[in-house]
Amino acid sequence: MRSLFISKISPNSAFLLSNFRFRIPIAALRSLTFSSFHRSPPPMPPRMAMVSHVDSDGPLARRLWNKCRRESIFSMYTPFCVCLACGTLDVDTFRHVVDQDVHFLKAFAQAYELAAECADDDDAKHSINELRKAVMVDLKRHASFVKEWAAEGGKESPINPATVKYTDFVLATAFGKIEGDKGLGNLATPFERTKLAAYTLGAITPCMRLYAYLATEFKGALGADHGNHLYKTWIENYASKDFEESAARTEDILEKLSATLTGEELDTIEKLYHQAMKLEQEFYCSQTVSQKTVVPLIKDHNPATDRLVLFSDFDLTCTVVDSSAILAEIAMVRAPKPDQTQPDDQITRMSSADLRNTWGVISRQYTEEYEECIDKITPPATEEFKYEDLCTALEQLSDFEKRANNRVVESGVLKGLNFEDIRRAGERLIIQDGCFNFFRTATKSENLNVGVHILSYCWCADLIRSSFNSGGLLTQVTIHANEFAFEEAVSTGDLVRKVESPVDKVNAFRKILENYGNDRKNLTVYIGDSIGDLLCLLEADVGIVVGTSSSLRRLATQFGVSFVPLYPSVVRKQKSLTEETECSWKGLSGVLYTVNSWAEIHAFVLGCEI
């Protein structure tokens, strides 16, 4: 039954599946979350949680920031930000952006002035005026900064069209020109005026938070290695306690001004906030970087000579829940009651009570034996990467997985599942935010020669097909997984076995590449989350780990595998890149890259635009 069902499920989760009464109808499968399963969701910093003001707790600005995680990550992975982070950014490019900051600050000062005039609360008015004073101080401080970095002759850079878009947007908001809001009128009442002040703060706050976030990420990526950084002053200014406090004050005022707003008005603030973040992302994407860069990964891709091959696991990599739990749910919901007579012309099935008990026994047995197997194959720690030893160890795990699947088939728990139930469940599977968009963007690009392959232990490939079909991707991806055997659209309980183990996965990985041939240079990316993906992750040119599987890290590190966050790795590679060198991403390096979201994968591999 594999890491298919319980290898990704803890003893507590096995208990859940064996004791839960499974009264949830198929239509309610959406309510299942990571919390039911082996690995808790990846620990996400505030920017990583996709939430909305209508269903989350916490300050409004924090919720809005969380919802714009994609824009913040895409900004961070732009060539401009990566080069700035590592200190190799061309000076002329940096000067240009420094000059743009003046236009931003002037627009903010004017917008704050207008917002203060609208605020009817003396405290709010005072707070906004203090923000304006801080901007004026920043303008004076920035003048000396601009002078320090000014080009010879003191010639200023022309204003960037992306700068104009953002500053025009902020000022239009401050003047009450807000698309879709017909309730502002002539600002006749104090409430209407206060609402406009809140809208203005909603358009400014994202810029403040994004600058603080980016500088903090840059500083974190550099670690102790920033003493001689060319742009150290810029980074330390925006990563400073003072700037963080300034950003937090802006957010606090937004919170106070929004306290009495209706749900519809809060939606308007959300739209303004999101629009501001998109304009910020556009600003960073628009900066021209003349030097060689390591991002995006496909920057030098030539469809005539290159091929990008994307591989991904499915369960808990693409999905929020494990498909095995979904199949168990279907089986138990559709199982006959103990006193129910089954037609002679249909496949005989266990009663719901017997099925539930059998699942419980299999689950507990699998969990216990899986942990024993992992303990048995885990060697003493070594700093040297020992791939062959790891392969040998995972052959033992592969044998175990196949024996476990034998038990599942022999138990009969997979008998009688209806194809239509499976199809509908696949359509309703909750997919990780950004996953399908990544594959859709890659496969629809005319500038890429790309192949996408899903390698999964899933017992039923039709569940995966249905899921990708619901995302409009079925014809763009090739799915490699096990199949249910069906008779007249009802499962017989047997499996057509194709991918049952880590060894099966890596053999399929190699076979796919072999079938592509040598007519083009292949760049391979594998995205996974568990021990079953380990060999493929290591053999790919870039192995990306999503989630926080403790068993994966525990086993892999004992064989000398290193797990490093992707962004700091990109910054380090950029720092070492010169016009004479090439950035190489090679398999079997013993290094795997960790991410918190599919947005990171998308930004790294494909960039803002392709």
The residue count of the chain comes to: 610
- Residue type at 366 in one-letter notation: Y
566 close to 77: Cβ distance less than 8 angstroms: no
Q: What is the pLDDT of residue 337?
A: 73
Domain boundaries, the chain: 60-286, 306-337+347-606
Tokens of residue 418, six digits: 């209806």
514, pLDDT greater than 90: yes
The pLDDT assigned to 179 comes to 79
CB contact set of 607 (below 8 Å; sequence gap of 6+): 77, 78, 295, 296, 298, 299
| pLDDT at residue 442, as a whole number | 97
- pLDDT band per the 50, 70, 90 thresholds, residue 30: very low
Which residue(s) pair with 31 in the sheet? none
CA-closest candidate to residue 282, choices 167, 138, 200? 167
Locate 537 and state its tokens: 């992750």
The reported pLDDT for the residue numbered 56 is: 52
Average pLDDT of the segment spanning 496-507: 97
**Residues 306-339: tens digit of each pLDDT:** 999 999 999 999 999 999 889 988 988 888 776 6
Strand-strand pairing, 562-565 and 542-546: unpaired
Neighbours of 361 (CB within 10 A): 12
Residue 180, pLDDT score: 66
pLDDT of residue 103 exceeding 80: yes
Q: Which residues contact 560 (CB under 8 A, 6 or more apart)?
A: 382, 383, 384, 385, 386, 590
* Structure tokens that stand for 404 in this block: 């476990």
Given a cut of 90, whether residue 503 has pLDDT beyond it is yes
CATH 3.40.50.1000 fits 306-337+347-606, yes or no: yes
Q: What is the mean pLDDT of residues 454-466?
A: 97
CA–CA separation, 540 and 544 (whole Å): 9
- Separation in Å, CA 367 to CA 15, 52, 161, 332: 10, 37, 58, 20
Structure tokens at 59: 């300050």
Average pLDDT over residues 527-554: 96
Q: Average per-residue pLDDT in the chain? A: 87
Taking CA atoms, 240 is separated from 44, 106, 172, 204, 491, in Å, by 22, 22, 30, 19, 61
Residue 285 has pLDDT above 60, yes or no: yes
CATH fold for domain 60-286: Heme Oxygenase; Chain A (1.20.910)
Where b means 16+ CB within 10 Å and e means fewer, 166-185 reads: bbebbbebbebebeebeebe
pLDDT for the residue numbered 36: 31
Q: Report the pLDDT averaged over residues 418-433.
A: 96
pLDDT score of 548: 86
- 397 phi and psi, to 5 degrees? -65, -35
Residue pair 496/483 in contact by the 8 Å Cβ criterion: yes
**C-alpha to C-alpha distance for 542 and 553, rounded to whole angstroms:** 17
pLDDT exceeds 80 at position 143? no
More confident residue, 101 or 227: 101
Catalytic residues: 207, 280
Q: In angstroms, rounded to a whole number, what is the distance separating the alpha carbons of residues 137 and 134?
A: 5
Match 């309610």 to its residue by tokens: 28
CA 167 from centre of chain? 29
Model confidence at 130: pLDDT above 80? yes
Q: Given this model, what pLDDT does residue 58 score?
A: 85
pLDDT band at 582 (very low <50, low <70, confident <90, very high): confident
pLDDT of 347: 67
Whether pLDDT at 417 is above 70? yes
* Average confidence (pLDDT) over 437-460: 96
With bands split at pLDDT 50, 70 and 90, how would you rate the model's confidence at 22? very low
Q: What is the pLDDT of residue 224?
A: 72
Q: What share of the chain in percent tops pLDDT 70?
A: 85
Task: Average the pLDDT over 254-270 and give the result.
Answer: 94
Average pLDDT over residues 544-559: 95
Query: What per-residue confidence (pLDDT) applies to 553?
Result: 96
Residue 307 · residue 522 · CB < 8 Å:
yes
Residues 30-51, mean pLDDT to the nearest whole number: 31
Tell me the mean pLDDT in the region 342-366.
Answer: 81
- pLDDT category at 428 given cuts 50, 70, 90 is very high
Q: What average pLDDT does this structure show over 176-198?
A: 76
Residue 7 pLDDT class (50, 70, 90 cuts): very low
DSSP state of 319: B
Spatial contact of 117 and 130, defined as CB atoms under 8 Å apart: no
User: Do residues 534 and 563 make contact, with C-beta atoms less than 8 angstroms apart?
Assistant: no
Beta carbons within 8 Å of 223's beta carbon, 6+ residues apart = 568
Q: What is the DSSP string of 115-173?
A: HHHH--SHHHHHHHHHHHHHHHHHHHHHHHHHHHHPPGGGPPPPPPHHHHHHHHHHHHH
- The answer to whether 326 and 4 are in contact (CB under 8 A) is no
Q: What is the pLDDT of residues 568-581, one digit of tens each?
A: 999 999 999 987 78
Parallel, antiparallel or unpaired: strands 591-595 and 562-565: parallel
Q: Which pLDDT score, from 0 to 100, does residue 29 have? A: 34
Q: Which long-range contacts (CB under 8 A, 24 or more apart) does 528-531 make?
A: 528/312, 528/313, 528/317, 529/39, 529/313, 529/316, 529/317, 530/3, 530/7, 530/8, 530/313, 530/316, 531/3, 531/7, 531/374, 531/394, 531/397, 531/502, 531/555, 531/556
Q: What is the mean pLDDT of residues 549-554?
A: 94
Of residues 35, 596, 553, 44, the one with CA closest to residue 321: 35
Q: Provide the percentage of residues in the chain whose pLDDT is more than 90.
A: 72
Tell me the two tokens of residue 97: 């952006």
Residue 86 pLDDT > 80: yes
Write down the pLDDT at residue 329. Answer: 87
And the tokens for 60? 């409004």
